[in-house]
Amino acid sequence: DAGVTQSPTHLIKTRGQHVTLRCSPISGHKSVSWYQQVLGQGPQFIFQYYEKEERGRGNFPDRFSARQFPNYSSELNVNALLLGDSALYLCASSLVRGEEKLFFGSGTQLSVL
């Protein structure tokens, strides 16, 4: 069975641009969460979606947005990129909300120049 898949694996952007990251959860999983992991730090919670609705949001600016599609895949969008947005972006899925077991993808490494 496929795990959580994320695309692209690596991305290079310049300041001011926008980026879209994609995530496909494990088949049957309805909850998707996004995390930002800056080098040398632990992941920081950005969003959680369940049944296509935003259920939780971390302390990130409005430049960050996300959505979940009817097939439960998800996109994370970041506008007006800053150098500080350079990080590994992780997607995690779970079968149901609050299952307490998250399955993480390998992430998208975003570099902003």
Interface positions with another protein (CB under 8 A): 3-4, 31, 33, 35, 40-45, 48, 50, 55-56, 58, 90, 92, 94, 97-98, 100-102, 104-107
Count of helix runs (H) and strand runs (E) in the chain: 0, 11
- Closest Cα partner for 104 from 50, 35, 52? 35
The CB-of-71 to another protein minimum distance in angstroms stands at 19
Beta bridge partners of 87: 110
The CB-of-31 to another protein minimum distance in angstroms stands at 6
The CB-of-50 to another protein minimum distance in angstroms stands at 8
Cβ contact 72:30 at 8 Å: yes
Q: Looking at beta carbons only, is 80 or 96 nearer to another protein? A: 96
